[in-house]
Structure 1
């Protein structure tokens, strides 16, 4: 899934916070839930506007970014 089709960043939606496309659910919410030990199914129950496909695709994108050989660019962007 194309990241631009997966994540929306719009100043009129939650002040430009990245959200799952077609929703008002911040991407950060998924990571917060997982960090707290909440299973993916429970996250999806809490946020029914996010599809399983969207959540799994986001995790796959994050995995690719964090395990890529270009991680140095990510370091620079986060600094």
Structure 2
């Protein structure tokens, strides 16, 4: 599936979840999905828990996060000697 088609699965609407990016047709925010996966929920568990959710929706969350970070500059943290 192309990046454009994946990203069409993520929408933002000020009337849904205060405008946070969500998986289209759901109230599942990208942040929530990435957070539960980061804390050990498996893809299979997530798909079983939320009927209608597809693997492509999860891929779209990862791609959206990656694209969102594309323009962010990170500064290395340097410990200062006391």
**Structure 1-normalised TM-score?**
0.68
The structure showing larger relative contact order (alpha-carbon pairs under 8 Å, at least 6 residues apart) is: 2
The answer for unaligned runs of 5 or more in structure 1 is: none
The 1:17/1:49 distance shift into structure 2, 3 A limit, reads: farther
Larger Rg: 2
Distance 1:11 1:44 in 2: 26
Greater helix fraction, Structure 1 or Structure 2: 1
Partner residue in 2 for 1:58: 61
The 1:54/1:37 distance shift into structure 2, 3 A limit, reads: same
1:74 is the counterpart of 2:72? yes
Distance 1:11 1:54 in 2: 20
Distance 2:64 2:58 in 1: 11
After TM superposition, give the deviation of residue 64 of structure 1 in Å: 5.3
**Structure 2-normalised TM-score?**
0.66
After TM superposition, give the deviation of residue 49 of structure 1 in Å: 3.4
CA RMSD of aligned residues (A): 2.6
